[in-house]
Homo-oligomer: A and B are copies of this chain.
Amino acid sequence: MAILLDGKKTASELNETTRKRILKLKQCGIVPGLAVVIVGEDQASQRYVRNKHKLALKLGMNSVIKEVPASITEAQLLALITELNQDTTIQAILVQDPLPKHINEQRIMQSISSTKDVDGFTAVNVGQLYLNLTGNYPVACTPKGIMTLLEKYDIFLRGKKAVVIGRSAIVGKPMAALLVNAGASVSILHRYTTEIAEYTRDADLIISATGVLRLLGAEAVKPGAVIVDVGQNLDETGHLVGDVDFNAVKDKVAAITPVPGGVGPMTIATLMQQTVDLTEWGLANGK
């Protein structure tokens, strides 16, 4: 049986560090503030946002949920972001996707102040990541959380063959950038890739973020590989599972993230961590 990359436990430790950092800030009269904007009534989104809110409060930060109806106009939503950009009690802004079709998602994301861009979505923060610049900037929470998890388990990356399946701005692309910066050889696959297994069969590390149930079985992975499963799918019995057929590969690979309890808790813990990062960086810049 492979080593389980325990996201729940690692996230819990990270949250404890975050809690202590918040305590310290509070002693100086500063309360980190996270605002989450949710548009419409998507049930999964509502659940994610509630979980974030609960954790933020538990860790001692200021958590604000801005619920707006799906009928909101783009201009109204932009105005709300501007208001949050200017609000000195808010250090981090997250807009929960998906957004309704009549709203240009990138226009909204790019309107977030880069200094409050807790998911690292604005062009200037994305650019800094790709250029591997030194200095302080936020990075998309899911890939950053995965890097924390891999470090925790001493997974060595330099010179390793990594495969990232998915090219989204939120997971695949920043994940690939982090791995390239860490010295891995990185293949980025996506919906137009016809032979995914040709890549994954040779891979030392597979990061799958497709939302395709049982995308990878035992024949698609090599013995000793490390598997990070970002997928969140419901199987035929209504259970939450990833992209990878966990039971089929678990005795072949060296390590694997469970679903649930792998990447999910790391993403939300990283969101909390980066809210505090942004708060501290703002202080360092005299804001």
Residues of B near A192 (CB, < 8 A) are 158-159, 183-185
Residues of chain B with a CB closer than 8 A to A186's CB: 187-188
Query: Which residue in B128, B133, B169 is a CB contact (below 8 Å) of A131?
Result: B169
State in angstroms the CA–CA spacing of A60 and B287 once bound together.
Answer: 47
How far does the Cβ of A215 sit from chain B's closest Cβ, in whole Å? 15
Residues of B within 8 A of A202 (CB): 198
Cα distance A202–B199 in the bound complex, in angstroms: 10
CB pair B123 A106 closer than 8 Å: no
Contact size range, A? 35 or more
Known: A173-B180, A187-B187. A193 touches B126 (CB 8 A): no
Main secondary structure of the interface of A (DSSP, over half): mixed
Per-residue CB contact flags for chain A residues 108-135 toward chain B (1 = under 8 Å, else 0) read: 0010000000000111111110110110
A176 CB contacts on chain B under 8 angstroms: 188
Question: Of B110, B184, B194, which contacts A159 at CB under 8 A?
Answer: B194
Whether A190 sits at the interface, judged by CB under 8 Å, is yes
**Which residues from B are CB-within-8-Å of A125?**
123, 127
Copies of this subunit? 2
Interface assignment of A167: CB less than 8 Å from any CB of chain B: yes
C-alpha spacing A106/B137, complex, angstroms: 15
A169 to B128, CA, bound (A): 11
CB distance from A200 to the nearest CB of B (A): 12
**A61 interface residue (CB < 8 Å to B):** no
A189 at the A/B interface (Cβ < 8 Å)? yes
Chain B residues with CB under 8 Å of A180's CB are 167, 173, 188, 190
Contact of A127 among B127, B134, B185, B198 (CB under 8 A): B127
Which of A130, A177, A198 has the most chain B CB atoms closer than 10 A to its own CB? A130
Q: How far is the CA of A125 from the CA of B193 in the complex (A)?
A: 27
Chain B residue contacts of A184, Cβ below 8 A: 192
User: Cα distance A130–B178 when bound, in Å?
Assistant: 13
Also in contact, A159 and B106, with CB within 8 A (given A123-B133, A126-B130, A188-B186): no
Given contacts A180-B188, A185-B189, A198-B202, contact A131 B106 (CB under 8 A): yes
Selected from B124, B158, B187, the residue in CB contact (under 8 A) with A124 is B124
A-B contact pairs, 11 of them (CB 8 A): A123-B125, A123-B131, A123-B133, A125-B127, A131-B169, A158-B192, A167-B180, A185-B187, A186-B188, A187-B187, A187-B188
